[in-house]
Structure formats: C-alpha cells, structure tokens
Amino acid sequence: MNITVLGAGAFGKALGKVLVDNKHAVVYYDPFLYPDFTLDAALYNAEAVIVAVPSNALPELTENYPQQAKELPTIIATKGLTSLRIFNGFSKLSVISGPAFANEIMENKGATLTASDPFVLDIFQNGQIFIELCDDIKGILLCGTLKNIYAIGAGYHSESENEVAAFITRAHNESIRFLNDHDANGDTANYVCGLGDLILTCTSETSRNFTCGKRLRKGEQLRTILDDLKTVEGVSAIKDITNIKKYPVLAEIAEIVKPEV
C-alpha cells in the first residue's frame, strides 16, 4: 500500500519505519525538511495517510489540504488534540496513540499502541508492534493530551519517587473523570494510550514535558525552558482546558506554569 506520512519528525519517521518493515511504500511530507516537495505531490499516489505533525502545525496543514485527499483513510498520530474539529470534512478518520518513544521504535524495540480502527492494526501490527483496539476516538485523543500536561507536574515532583507515584495515581483517576465529563469513555484511560502513556511520560527524562516540570521546580523561568526545549506540548495543551478548577491536578499544574497559561 502507498502510505503518506505527514510529518518527518522523530515519531513520523518511526511510524514510517514500521510501515516499511510491513512492506508498505512510504512517502514523507515535511515542508521544513523537504521544502521543495509539495503536499499535493506527497498525496498524489496515497492510499492512506498518517498525520504525525505537531498539533500547532495542524491549522496550516488542514487549511491547504486537497479536498479529494480527505476521502482517504487518515490515521491521526498527533498528540495534543482535544477534539476532531480541525479535521472537519475528513470521512475516514482513525487514531493511533500510546507509550512509544521514537528512538526505541527505530531500534526495533517492542511497543504496544492503541488504535481506533482495525485498519490501523492491519498496516502496523507485526512482531515488534502490538495494536490494541478501542473505538473511543475522542478518549484516545484526550489521553494523548492529558498525559503531556500531567508529565509537567510529575517532573515538578520528581525529587521524590514517592511523590511521583502518588501524583501518577491522582492523575490517572482524574483522567477517568475528565474523559467521562467530555463525551468520552473513562475506561479508555485504562488502555495503554491512557495509563501506559501516562506512566512513560511521567517517569522519563526523555519527555520534554517531564523535563520542563523538573526545571521549573529548580526555579528556572518557563520562557527560558521553552526557548531551550522548543516544544513542550503540555504547556500549549493546558490552555485549552476549560473549567480547570474542577480538576485539582490540572489546576495545580496550571499554577506551576503561570504566567504563560
């Protein structure tokens, strides 16, 4: 199958590597890395599309998206979304998410991911990658957003492993309630896209969000951290949370990252 991966960053390339391992033909679109390769050209022979661009790049991408390509099976791998509004008009959407660092996938280490459609399982699953199915698209998206926010708080508390364990427990319980409050299924937080990704992101020095929280605890200014790390998805995501006072852990993190939020 001819598959176009939108976004040739670390995770996009990692997903593409799995697809190539599964004998699919992969084309990458990334205007920063390949400025002379247009979106129309990248989608010309596509039979399916993987969206792996950063969430802040999606508005420009979808604004210029060819109408005919919206009919293709489109798998969202971008984390940081709270709804599918930006994909209005796409007819065959699905999601893939879960605890998987790109470098480990590139090193052929195993990973389990959650997907919302059997089609995703068909093209991705192999001896390295296991796919569990969950039909709660919105819940999967929300889990991918919440874990980045919570990782900031975990990093902030990371001087004590005891505190981190308690923090992750509170964050997971709050995730279940958050999903139920936002037209999703709270049980989705128990899949690897929820609890699994939460644990990974909240305990790893590789996570930019975790690192951000750790540096905030040491007294560094958030602007300095953002200039250094470039992308801290949780800082952007928390701005989209409404009624945040209903959720004590999220509210705590909002206070930590002030005045940026």
What's the CATH code of the domain at 175? Answer: 1.10.1040.10
Looking at residue 260, its pLDDT comes to 58
Per the DSSP assignment, residues forming a β-bridge with 51 are 6, 76
* 111 and 164 assigned to the same domain: no
Eight-state DSSP code of residue 85? G
* 160 and 232 assigned to the same domain: yes
Alpha helices (H) in 125-196, listed in sequence order: 137-156, 161-181
Dihedral pair phi/psi, residue 127, rounded to 5°: -70, -20
* 169 and 63 assigned to the same domain: no
Q: For residue 242, what are the domain limits?
A: 144-257
How many domains does the chain divide into?
2
Last residue of a domain, one of 81, 113, 133: 133
Is residue 211 scored above 80 in pLDDT?
yes
In a domain, 221, yes or no: yes
* 9 and 64 assigned to the same domain: yes
Q: Which residues belong to the active site?
A: 147
Is residue 159 scored above 60 in pLDDT?
yes
* 126 and 155 assigned to the same domain: no
What percentage of the chain carries pLDDT values higher than 70?
A: 99
In a domain, 251, yes or no: yes
* 96 and 152 assigned to the same domain: no
* 44 and 8 assigned to the same domain: yes
In a domain, 139, yes or no: no
* 157 and 120 assigned to the same domain: no
pTM for the model = 0.93
* 172 and 80 assigned to the same domain: no
In a domain, 177, yes or no: yes
* 104 and 193 assigned to the same domain: no
**16 confidence band (pLDDT: 50, 70, 90):** very high
Cβ(18)–Cβ(2) under 8 Å? no
DSSP element (H, E) containing 97: strand 93-97
* 127 and 173 assigned to the same domain: no
* 11 and 111 assigned to the same domain: yes
Instruction: Label each residue of 38-84 as H, E or C.
Output: CHHHHHCCCCEEEECCCHHHHHHHHHCCCHHHHHCCEEECCCCCCCC
**35 confidence band (pLDDT: 50, 70, 90):** very high
Eight-state DSSP code of residue 127? S
What are the tens digits of pLDDT across the range 219-229?
999 999 999 99
